[in-house]
């Protein structure tokens, strides 16, 4: 299912008529053919938007290592806290937990206020909770540090270089299928030495995609056409 935000009027009836002339296509139902082109364009927009701002692994790792650094600093600060400061922290810890337990028993403990008293019961049940001690909080912080460190070290590897646009890949695959359903003419890719489309199918693809995104170079569109033809041949072997 494609969200309505990805459905944008892309092809007018005149556009479809012109594209059919370019491709030498004679769809039995031009209106339905136009609807299919619009649906294929919407699928492209959905997939392209999912990956358009995909962060680099380097940036993700940097963010995770920032958590490692800060959790480590917090644990170090707790371990090196002077006695007087630790006593003050423990006094407030004990006071707050006593207060939170009383509020919990009265079913008045706010759920949106940070607390080291973790309710285990539902609001309409007799109050049960876990009171976290500072040593347990420290272990939780260390656990978070370990998780962040492991996450940074085990990020899924990505291929180096520019990634293929999955949106364009799906668009071409769907156009390939639509072509096959519409005509018996072969879906082939012929280009000039300079890389410009020559035959009907190649010209149809580049012209149709230009209505979706004028910034995508023809070379990328034609490359995806080559991949689609290759992949379909492999599946049919």
Burial class (CB in 10 A: 0-12, 13-18, 19+), 172: buried
pTM over 0.85: no
pLDDT band at residue 234, thresholds of 50, 70 and 90? confident
- Position 85 pLDDT exceeds 90: yes
pLDDT category of residue 55 using cuts at 50, 70 and 90: confident
3-state DSSP: the chain helix, strand, coil percent, rounded to 5?
65, 5, 35
In the chain, pLDDT over 90 holds for what percent of residues?
72
- What is residue 3's predicted lDDT score, i.e. its pLDDT? 65
pLDDT digits (tens, 9 = 90+) for 151-188: 999 998 766 555 678 899 999 999 999 999 999 999 99
Q: How many Å apart are CA 207 and CA 8, to the nearest integer?
A: 17
Side-chain half-sphere CA neighbours of 48 within 13 A: 17
Q: Please report, for the chain, the start and end positions of each structural domain, with discontinuous segments joined by +.
A: 4-54+162-236, 57-153
| Number of residues that this document lists for the chain | 237
Please give the full DSSP string across 110-165, using - where no structure is assigned. -TTS--SEEE-S-TTS---EEE--HHHHHHHHHHHHHHHHHHHHTPPP--SSPPP-
Query: How many other C-beta atoms are found inside a 10 Å radius of the C-beta of residue 76?
Result: 10
Predicted confidence (pLDDT) per residue in 62-72, tens digit: 999 999 999 99
């Amino acid at each position: 299912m494609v969200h309505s935000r990805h459905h944008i009027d892309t092809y007018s009836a005149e556009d479809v008529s012109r594209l059919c002339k370019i491709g030498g296509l004679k769809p039995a139902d031009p209106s339905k053919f136009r609807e299919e082109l619009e649906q294929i364009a919407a699928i492209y927009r959905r997939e392209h938007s999912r990956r358009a701002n995909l962060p680099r692994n380097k940036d993700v790792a940097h963010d995770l290592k920032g958590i490692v650094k800060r959790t480590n600093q917090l644990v170090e600060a707790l371990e090196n806290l002077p006695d007087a400061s630790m006593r003050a922290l423990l006094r407030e810890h004990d006071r707050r937990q006593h207060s939170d337990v009383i509020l919990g028993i009265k079913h008045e403990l706010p759920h949106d206020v940070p607390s080291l008293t973790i309710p285990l019961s539902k609001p309409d049940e007799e109050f049960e909770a876990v009171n976290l001690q500072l040593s347990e909080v420290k272990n939780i912080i260390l656990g978070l540090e370990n998780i962040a460190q492991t996450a940074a070290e085990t990020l899924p590897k990505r291929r180096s270089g520019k990634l293929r646009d999955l949106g364009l890949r799906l668009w071409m695959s769907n156009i390939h299928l639509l072509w096959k359903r519409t005509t018996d003419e072969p879906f082939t890719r012929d280009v000039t030495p300079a890389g410009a489309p020559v035959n009907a199918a190649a010209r149809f693809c580049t012209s149709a995609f230009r209505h979706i995104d004028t910034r995508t170079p023809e070379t990328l569109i034609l490359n995806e056409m080559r991949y689609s033809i290759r992949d379909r041949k492999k599946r049919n072997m």
